[in-house]
């Protein structure tokens, strides 16, 4: 994952440089972007944390979809006037 981290951090650095040049261009000589340009861009998360969050979100999404499906089916059954029989 080091390669992916390096690629993401390079992208963050490019964004930082783009914002610095944009602020300099818009603000003119009165804007000091030295602190922004000097900022070190690092990925603000750990891969283990990210995979845990993704797993949790996928379970949450699956539950939400199931619940929406269940409510739709129940509403259709009630609308049709179908009674459930006990067996």
Do 71 and 54 form a contact (C-beta atoms < 8 A)?
A: no
What is residue 85's predicted lDDT score, i.e. its pLDDT? Answer: 59
What is residue 19's predicted lDDT score, i.e. its pLDDT? Answer: 93
- The backbone torsions φ and ψ at residue 86, rounded to the nearest 5 degrees and listed phi first, read -90, 140
Per-residue pLDDT 10s for the chain (87 aa) are 888 889 989 999 999 999 999 999 998 888 899 999 999 988 878 888 889 999 999 999 999 999 999 999 988 777 777 665 555
Question: How many CB atoms within 10 Å of residue 58?
Answer: 10
């Amino acid at each position: 994952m080091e390669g992916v981290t390096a690629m993401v951090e390079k992208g963050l650095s490019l964004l930082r440089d783009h914002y610095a040049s944009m602020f300099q261009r818009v603000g003119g000589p009165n804007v000091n972007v030295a602190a922004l340009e000097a900022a070190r861009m690092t990925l603000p998360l750990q891969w283990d944390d990210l995979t845990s969050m993704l797993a949790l979100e996928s379970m949450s999404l699956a539950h939400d979809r199931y619940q929406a499906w269940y409510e739709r089916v129940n509403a259709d059954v009630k609308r049709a006037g179908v009674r459930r029989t006990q067996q």
